[in-house]
Structure 1
Amino acid sequence: MEQRHLGRTGLRVSRIGLGTLTWGRDTDEHDAADQLKAFWEAGGTLVDTADVYGGGEAEYLLGQLVERLVPRRDLVIATKAGSVPDPDRRFDGSRGHLLAALDASLERLGTDYVDLWQIHAFDPATPLEETLQALDIAVGSGRARYVGVSNFCGWQLAKAATWQLAPGGGRARLASTQMEYSLLQRGVEREVLPAALDLGVGLLPSSPLGRGVLTGKYRHATPSGSRGASDRLAPFVEPYLDDPATRIVDAVITAADGLAATPLQVALAWVRDRPGVAAPVVGARNAQQLAAALSVETLSLPDEIRRALDDVSAPVHRYPDQDWSTL
């Protein structure tokens, strides 16, 4: 699998990442082992997790599998901290919470360091410089090799990345930002992606398949066993089942038919090759689903198809993005 630099850093990652959101919860040890082995054998390196996935079980399971199946040196392990697992979905960006969370992650993962450590979300109650100081301490102590953020809006990312690049600070530059990005969700193109490109921060798209909708499986009905059929995850899928989304899915299916490919391959190739993208992070329930995603490695979209998908999925950006002189 092709490797790419993560932002303006020396860290190289596979251009498809393996997500572990469901590990330890909906994905058991056997399926997780099959996924990790298949991913590694395909040349994949980037494995994405977080301290709250499965209540910590995803990190623990990943640590157990790395010890048994895959050499630690062959993987780029990325984890996140800052989410507080309570009904209000709080975020805690305090230095104390973040560093304690990192130590707990390292223990569950069974490793002395993570390759990439990301702040899971912006915490408005904590001064940003305190949050970022935790990243500097993590790198300075060797517990993290590179650092990034997740779910920061445009101004938050720009402020954080600029602070880390300030002269004389000796701070760790941001390598990445992880955000939802797909043909069904192009909101990052308004401010986040321009900031990331300008400041040398690599984008790691989450939900690159539009929460599964871009595979076409919801086109006529909701399959049993899918996220959309789950009481817990149905609200996650439902926003992408409206008429505009249907038109985009139809265009993806038409493109796939013309290329003798699958809708999954077309949708994933589109986001993988967008400017600024380092590696879409793909979550799968089993190795068969993962293999379908990894097969995109051989597909590059022709320009005319890419432009057609750009047009049908184009978000509406008006002022201040629109040329003010035309208003």
Structure 2
Amino acid sequence: MEQRRVGDSGLVVSRLGLGTLTWGRDTGEDAARGLLETFVEAGGTLIDTAAAYGAGDAERLLGRLVDEVTSRDEVVLASKAGFVVRRGERVVDTSRRALLRDLDASLRRLGTDHLDLWQVHAWGDAPLEESLSAVDQAVTSGRVRYAGVSNFVGWQTAQAATWQRADPARTTLVSAQVEYSLLARRAEVEVLPALRAFGMGCFPWSPLGRGVLTGQYRVGVPRGSRAATEHFAWFVEPYLEPRSRGVVEAVVRAAEGLDLTPLQVALLWVRDAPGVTAPLLGARTAGQLAPALATEDLTLPPEIASALDDVSGGPNALRHPPTTP
């Protein structure tokens, strides 16, 4: 698999990442092992998890499987901190205490002494400088190699990056995670331009529109799909509306013309969009992952990518920047 640098940093990752949101809950150990084996055999290196995924179960499962399937040094382990569970509810806590506590717990669950990439999972109520001081301590102590943010909007990303660059002793932020797909293009307005300005990489989550762009919901909600589960229905439902259906049909038509699957068309559009480093794939089985990995030698014709831009919200200004007269 092709490898890409994360922004202007020295960190290099595969251009597709493996997400572990469902591990330990919807994805059991056997399925997770199959996913990891398939991903690594294809040349994938970036594996993304978080302290909040399955209340730590995703990290525990990943920690058991990494040394069994591959070598720790052969993968890029990325995790996130800042979501915590209190009295049965998940809340955002980006205080220094909570972030460093999450980090130490993540390292224990993953069975490693360091993370290759550690990300503040969301913008919180704690002062930004306090949250970022935890990032600095994590890197200085050797527990983290590179740092980034997740789910920050454009001005939040720029503020965090500017704060860190104001003092050479602070850790430069190298990446951001944000939802980005043909059904969620808001990142193009501020986040992607901010990342470009600060030399940061982008890891899109839900590049398949929370599964809707695969076409599986065209005639209803299939049994066993995420939308059919009590804990994920809320996540998918926002994209099961008329505007999304129009985008899905355009993806299906493009797939038919290119002899690809809708999943592959939607993924290629994101993978090769300007500013993207590596989309994160949330497949639950190796069978679901295989079509995505089969895109390695494929690209969308420019006219198809532009047509999908048009139908999903308009031209991508980063793909076709305006010319100066």
After TM superposition, the score normalised by the length of structure 1 is 0.94
Tell me, yes or no, if the aligned pair for 1:79 and 1:116 is still in contact at 8 Å: yes
Find the counterpart in structure 1 of residue 239 from structure 2.
Answer: 240
Identical-pair percentage: 60
Structural mapping, 1:217-256, within 5 Å: 217-256=216-255
Q: What is the count of residue pairs matched by the alignment?
A: 316
CA RMSD of aligned residues (A): 1.5
User: For 2:206 and 2:76, how far apart are their aligned partners in 1?
Assistant: 19
What's the CA shift string for 1:299-323, capped at 9, x where partnerless? Answer: 1000110110010001699xxxxx9
Shift of 1:92: 1.0
SS in 2 for 1:85: strand
Structural mapping, 1:29-48, within 5 Å: 29-48=29-48
Find the counterpart in structure 2 of residue 21 from structure 1.
Answer: 21
4+ residue runs of structure 1 moved beyond 6 angstroms?
none
Q: Gaps spanning 5+ residues in structure 1: where?
A: 318-322
Tell me, yes or no, if the aligned pair for 1:51 and 1:101 is still in contact at 8 Å: yes
Find the counterpart in structure 2 of residue 199 from structure 1.
Answer: 198
Q: Which amino acid aligns with 1:38?
A: T
User: For 2:68 and 2:277, how far apart are their aligned partners in 1?
Assistant: 28
Q: Gaps spanning 5+ residues in structure 2: where?
A: 317-321
SS in 2 for 1:209: coil
Find the counterpart in structure 1 of residue 157 from structure 2.
Answer: 157
What's the CA shift string for 1:201-246, capped at 9, x where partnerless? Answer: 1110000000000000101121110011112211111110111111
Shift of 1:88: 5.2
After TM superposition, the score normalised by the length of structure 2 is 0.95
What's the CA shift string for 1:62-98, capped at 9, x where partnerless? Answer: 1100121110011000000000124653211111111
Find the counterpart in structure 2 of residue 320 from structure 1.
Answer: none
Find the counterpart in structure 1 of residue 123 from structure 2.
Answer: 122
Tell me, yes or no, if the aligned pair for 1:265 and 1:299 is still in contact at 8 Å: no
SS in 2 for 1:171: coil
CA distance 1:231–1:315, shift in 2 (3 Å): farther
Tell me, yes or no, if the aligned pair for 2:176 and 2:203 is still in contact at 8 Å: yes
Tell me, yes or no, if the aligned pair for 2:309 and 2:315 is still in contact at 8 Å: no
Structural mapping, 1:1-327, within 5 Å: 1-86=1-86, 89-123=90-124, 125-166=125-166, 168-314=167-313
User: For 1:315 and 1:144, how far apart are their aligned partners in 2?
Assistant: 39
SS in 2 for 1:137: helix
